[in-house]
Amino acid sequence: MTAMALSEELLLLAHDDEPDRPGSTLPLEGGLAAALLLDLATEGLLVAKGRSVVGVDGTASRPLLAAALAALRAEDEPHDARYWLAELPVALGPLRGQVGAAVAERGALTADRCAALGLTAAPGRPEVDPAPEHELRARLHRVLVYSGEPDNRTALLISLLRPLAMVRGVVDKQHRKQADALAKAITRATADAAATPAAISRAVHAAQAAVVIAAVGG
């Protein structure tokens, strides 16, 4: 089975069965939109043009990414990444259900999670497969608890978790202060490193800015 997209990993972590793990899902639509931009950028289908990001001709690996790419390419004028964090959920429809459907296809969502997203649990899969979430959390623990060096994909995921206030929800209470500090450093490095493609940097900065604006506005 292919690896999950960043948007799928983000949704899997945002809908946690364990009630004692805090995590803000209020700006999740914007976070999922940012994840789509990052996935497009890592596939070479999103590039920076000045302060804007634009989609380029190519074939996306997933239907939802293809739809996002089509939305970007349909615009007459380029827009910055922050614009797309708000526009993609409008252009494509609510992202939670669409991303959730992809995760449900893997059998990684419980029936309750499917119901919360308005989805029907995949037929023939009465029991949830815990492996995808366990593997995802183990990958994050290696970085946020044991200070392991993140690969590029994990660094991008952490750069989404931090502005969505979800870092503390993926580690135990005694590790939260350390995890917050590590996530902050990783997010800054991911956005500002000289080797980071400009389109990825734009998307990471936009995710952080959008959440700050939402918090102030709320």
How far is Cα 218 from Cα 87, in angstroms, rounded to an integer? 19
Question: What is the rounded average pLDDT for all residues in the chain?
Answer: 84
Q: What is the pLDDT of residue 33?
A: 94
Question: Which pTM was predicted?
Answer: 0.86
How far is Cα 60 from Cα 67, in angstroms, rounded to an integer? 9
Count Cα neighbours of 93 within 13 Å in the Cβ-side half-sphere.
6
Average of per-residue pLDDT across 57-80? 95
Unique residue bearing structure tokens 């800054």:
188
Question: Comparing 132 with 114, which gets the higher pLDDT?
Answer: 132
CATH superfamily of 6-217: yeast vps74-n-term truncation variant domain like (1.10.3630.10)
* Model confidence band, residue 70 (pLDDT cutoffs 50, 70, 90): very high
Instruction: Output Rg (C-alpha) for the chain, integer angstroms.
Output: 17
How far is Cα 106 from Cα 90, in angstroms, rounded to an integer? 26
Q: What is the pLDDT of residue 115?
A: 76
Residues 155-197: tens digit of each pLDDT: 999 999 998 889 999 999 999 999 999 999 999 898 887 668 8
Q: What is the pLDDT of residue 41?
A: 92
Backbone angles phi, psi at 56, to 5 degrees: -115, 160
Outline where the chain has alpha helix (H): 6-14, 28-42, 63-74, 81-92, 95-105, 111-116, 131-144, 152-161, 176-192, 198-217
- The single-letter code of the amino acid at 11 is L
Helix (H, G, I), strand (E, B) or coil at 53: strand
* Model confidence band, residue 139 (pLDDT cutoffs 50, 70, 90): very high
Q: What is the pLDDT of residue 213?
A: 47
* Model confidence band, residue 136 (pLDDT cutoffs 50, 70, 90): very high
